[in-house]
Amino acid sequence: MSTPPLSISTTSVSTPILWSSQRNRRIITIGGSVES
């Protein structure tokens, strides 16, 4: 999955949340545009 520079800071903060919310891609989209 590619992470844009804008969502890098958000991704690093919500990294554990990303894995936890793999089922809910909605949360990932809200935190930043993450393309899997």
If one counts the domains in the chain, the total is 1
Model confidence over 1-32: pLDDT tens digits? 555 555 555 555 555 665 555 665 655 555 55
Report how far apart, in Å, the C-alpha atoms of 1 and of each of 10, 11, 36 are: 15, 12, 4
User: Residue 35: which domain range?
Assistant: 1-36
pLDDT at 36: 45
Report pTM.
Answer: 0.16
Cα–Cα–Cα angle for 26, 20, 31, rounded to 5 degrees: 40
